[in-house]
Chain A
Amino acid sequence: MEGHVRGRIIKDTIFKSLVMCLSFVAILPLLLILYYITKNGIAVINWEFLTTLPRPIGEAGGGIYNAIVGTIQLIILSSIFSIPVGIAAGIYLSERKEGKLSELVRLCVVVLQGTPSIVIGIVAYLWIVAPFQSFSALSGGIALSIMMLPVIIKTTEETLKLIPYHLKEASLALGVPYHRTILKVVLPAGLTNILTGILLSVARITGETAPLLFTAFGNQFMNYNIFKPIDSLPYRIFYYAMSPYPEWHTFAWGASFILVVMVLGLNLTARGLASKWKVQF
């Protein structure tokens, strides 16, 4: 009897330590990745790296200025389309909770969210690059905006569902028209959370490479024309990492460090906003 109980307790302890071990082994790669990016990245980064254009192999120096600017341009381009449409669709879903169109849109959001980024790259290629006969920043922006949409729609819908109904009723009772109630009362009440969603979606696309491979493509020079190919940080990392030159490999680490700082910075800001908002209602 005694032995039987002890056996069960031993099993319990073994299981607990196993679970703890597994949990911490799982985040070991994260620590290793962050360690190597910091170690190899910091060594490369200096003012010149951030503010000059890439040079051909053999010439020392050079940087990733155009890639940083390109990434920012792509973020702006994709936001222009996805933020208004995403928020409007989110409002539609939260206002018409039932209904066939809402159900259909929800299903589409799920499917879009799971669509592999490379497939979206193909589609953007067929829509924009093939007709215009040139890789372009615009096509990259379209591809990325398709990836942003699901996140924005979902967070907008979830946020607006949480806004207390009496807020809306109070405004309507005062005779405020419906659209003004939504735009001036409901939307501002949930603005911080929607902003969180937007930041998260931007964080998601900042590191995306696959949809840019045959849309924005990459460019060694600075470019402000949206109908011409444009460089981006993730593409540059890919290009440098796959090259046979050790010097470019170190550049890839440097660019990775910048990219990780950008993505994690966006994520942290978003989380900060989200946790601040929670106490409001």
Chain B
Amino acid sequence: MAAMKNDRPTSIVDKSEKRFTACLAISAIIIVVLLLAVFFTLLVTSIPAIKAFGIGFLYSKDWNPALEKFGALPFLVGTLLTSFLGLLLSIPFSIGISVFLGEYCKEGPISTFLRSAIEVLAGIPSVIYGLWGLFLLMPIIRSLETMIGVAPHGVGIFTSALILAIMVIPFSASIGREVITLVPSDLKEAAYSLGATRFEVIKNVVIPYARSGIIAGILLALGRAIGETMAVTMLIGNSNFLPTSLFSPANTMASVIANEFAEATGTTASSLIFVGLVLFLVTTLVNIVGNFIIKKISIESSREVG
């Protein structure tokens, strides 16, 4: 057989076959090169800022384009506050949905309705969340702020966190639902046979078993929240000072880039790209960890089934 192959002169088929496999490999390499190019473009163009401000960039709180003094602390704080607060607000809901869809209501019209609603929620463009937040959420927050006696900006960290909470629920909820349905039913049945109520089964068997998956879903939602740009840009109030309260206007890493990059030149542009680089590294780390956990879970569960 091998001899036959060697005797045959290289035909058109062989050539096009080679070309075909080369095409596939090149496309695969393009993806790797693309990511490396993204990283190195950010790194190289932010070198002026890295040289000028060094690691102090991350904990200096002055952002002053007029004096060309830049520190990213206000944006780091803004990003951390909005995304963690948003995540915190979303967790009860996403876990509620995961448990409801994964345990109580696996099939049927209600489940289908809820699942498609979550999918639609994930599909709505970010700019529309921003628009909705700007004209409907903002007045409500403003009157709330007047009621509790803080400056009624309407926009700010709390408003952004609220919209982020709504936006990230679909991500953690869909992963949570999947890992909860992966819980082996013999474990649950064992607990039921001992006389446990459904609540006790969920609390003592389902949640502990699915814990790492739920955490991975929350991590991926965190990655989303950190990188979310448009809705936050429209609702955060665009202030480059360190936020003083949960209701004060601020800027996140993503929103300051969105607001200022188009007009930036020189050191300002380089500093903004540095912010972008930090943002890229943080989200990459969060995503890799989250995906690693999910991959580990799916391998483990397929091993148990087998």
Contacts and interface: CB of A to CB of B under 8 A. Distances in A.
Contact of B128 (A9, A88, A259): A259
A187 B176 CA distance: 32
Interface in B191-241: 197-200, 202, 220, 223-224, 226-230, 233-234
A20 B94 CA distance: 12
B227 A117 contact: yes
A119 B125 contact: no
A209 B20 contact: no
A126 interface: yes
B100 A23 contact: yes
Contact of A114 (B197, B199, B223, B262): B223
Contacts of B59: none
A91 B21 CA distance: 10
Nearest to B125: A207
A12 B197 contact: yes
B120 A112 contact: no
A149 B34 CA distance: 11
A13 to B, nearest CB: 8
A83 B128 CA distance: 27
B273 A122 contact: yes
B280 A9 contact: no
Interface residues of B, number: 85
A92 B114 contact: no
B169 A33 contact: no
* Residue of B114, B124, B198, B234 contacting most chain A CB atoms (<10 Å): B124
B120 A85 contact: no
A125 interface: yes
B148 interface: no
* Residue of B29, B220, B286 contacting most chain A CB atoms (<10 Å): B29
A23 B114 contact: yes
A65 interface: no
Given A115-B38, A119-B279, A207 B127 contact: yes
B85 interface: no
B251 to A, nearest CB: 13
Nearest to A13: B199
Nearest to A116: B227
Nearest to A94: B24
A8 B194 CA distance: 14
Contacts of A210: 126, 229-230, 233, 254, 258
A33 B199 contact: no
A208 B131 CA distance: 14
A249 interface: yes
Nearest to B287: A114
Contacts of A84: 27
A26 B134 CA distance: 19
Contacts of A183: 20
Nearest to A214: B262
Contacts of A182: 20
Contact of B258 (A11, A213, A252): A213
A110 B28 contact: no
The SS class assigned to the A binding surface is helix
A32 interface: yes
Contacts of B279: 116, 118-119
A47 to B, nearest CB: 23
A125 B261 contact: yes
B228 to A, nearest CB: 8
B41 A178 contact: no
B45 interface: yes
Contact of B38 (A92, A123, A214): A123
Nearest to B101: A23
A177 interface: yes
A32 B13 CA distance: 59
Contacts of A138: none
B128 A89 contact: no
A59 B235 CA distance: 29
A15 B284 contact: no
Contacts of A104: 32
A25 B169 CA distance: 11
B225 to A, nearest CB: 10
Interface in A113-158: 113-123, 125-127, 146, 149, 153
A23 B125 CA distance: 22
Given A16-B199, A237-B128, A256-B131, 7 more contacts: A24-B114, A85-B31, A88-B27, A108-B35, A114-B286, A118-B258, A234-B127
Smallest CB-CB A-B distances: 9 pairs: A207-B125, A116-B227, A22-B96, A114-B287, A88-B27, A179-B20, A210-B229, A26-B93, A12-B197
Interface of A: 8-9, 11-12, 15-16, 18-27, 29-30, 32-34, 36-37, 84-86, 88-89, 91-93, 95, 101-102, 104-105, 107-123, 125-127, 146, 149, 153, 177-179, 182-183, 203, 206-210, 213-214, 217, 234, 237-238, 241-242, 249, 252-253, 256, 259-260, 263-264, 267, 271
18 contacts: A30-B124, A92-B28, A95-B24, A111-B284, A114-B227, A115-B280, A117-B227, A118-B229, A118-B254, A118-B276, A122-B272, A126-B273, A177-B17, A179-B17, A207-B123, A237-B127, A237-B128, A241-B234
